[in-house]
Amino acid sequence: MNKLLAIVGPTGVGKSRMAIQLAQALGGEIVSADSRQIYRYMDIGTAKPTPQERALAPHHLIDIASPNENFSLAQYQQLALKAIEDIQQREKLPIVVGGSGQYVWAVMEGWGIPQVAPDPEFRQSLEDRAAGGGENELYDELASVDPEAAQRIDPRNVRRTIRALEVYNETETPFSQLKDKVAPPFKTLIIGLTVDREELYRRIDLRVDAMIEMGLVDEVKRLISRGFDFNTPAMSSIGYRQIGLFLSGELTMPAAVQQIKFETHRLARQQYTWFQLQDPRIKWFDILKASDYEIMGPLNRFLKSSH
């Protein structure tokens, strides 16, 4: 079997639930494409599949890094392709699932990712500038040397801005131009799940409320007690950062929750720049309108096709 199924779309739309159902129905295994679920000890705030859900279908690339590790796109791509090959060799269907656009397309398009090692001194100088109020200045620098990369990066995502500048500094080539693509050796079907914005925001807000009820505050406290501070890559994630501000007395709990919801809405909008509704490679389904039968139609044709 040299086929690969991907399920994409914004956060909170129900990708994981569908992936588990399809994995059970089709004898598939799930390869996570979520840049936060790779981190250990961060379960509630990343909406990681529960142990019970993971027992329903094999999952790969979850809990593979410590929260204080710098985990690169190149590392993810390498591990994902290895997992996919292993699944295919066992004649199972790999199902790539997640909302991290770079992760998904690095695999689906076969990006040639620059193996540029972090430059601690250069990175620290940029982090110091950002901490001193120079976030917009760094983003403007990136936009001037690599407008394509800047367009894909949210101006508030300082970590990714710094990484793109770091690659440019090392290679003197825009990050976006380094991604020469080599088509991967498998046939792919990409299913996109979507819903109107009002309903998506409603689902996101309910999920954030559920995270608080499930103990997100205690999860953040446990991470702090393990020695992970808010300068580590993972702890800058939506949810963790805001609860950190609550614990330090800089935000009230209602304000922290509202900020988490607002930032997650923004993330969902950003994800549609990676997974565009007009992209002909993605078969989109509105989760409130499409029946299981409609979704299974193209999937069955894909699985039955010989090339």
Domains of the chain, each with CATH number or no CATH:
3-113+181-304 (3.40.50.300), 120-178 (1.10.20.140)
173-232 pLDDT tens trace: 777 776 667 878 899 999 999 999 999 999 999 999 999 999 999 999 999 999 999 888
pLDDT score at 63:
97
**Cα torsion angle, 265, 267, 270, 275, sign:** negative
pLDDT score at 119:
80
pLDDT band at 1 (very low <50, low <70, confident <90, very high): low
Whether 38 and 59 have beta carbons less than 8 Å apart is answered as no
pLDDT score at 158:
85
pLDDT score at 172:
73
Q: What residues contact 220, with CB distance under 8 A and at least 6 apart? A: 45, 240, 243, 244, 247
> Which two structure tokens, joined as six digits, stand for 70?
């710098």
Please classify residue 257 by burial: count the beta carbons closer than 10 Å to its beta carbon, then call 0-12 exposed, 13-18 middle and 19+ buried.
Answer: buried
> Which two structure tokens, joined as six digits, stand for 13?
């739309």
What pTM does this model have?
0.83
What is the arithmetic mean of pLDDT over 96-115?
Answer: 91
Task: Give the alpha-carbon dihedral of 71, 77, 82, 83, to 10 degrees.
Answer: 80
Q: Roughly what angle, to the nearest 10 degrees, separates helices 253-274 and 240-247? A: 160
pLDDT band at 151 (very low <50, low <70, confident <90, very high): confident
Q: What residues contact 24, with CB distance under 8 A and at least 6 apart? A: 56, 57
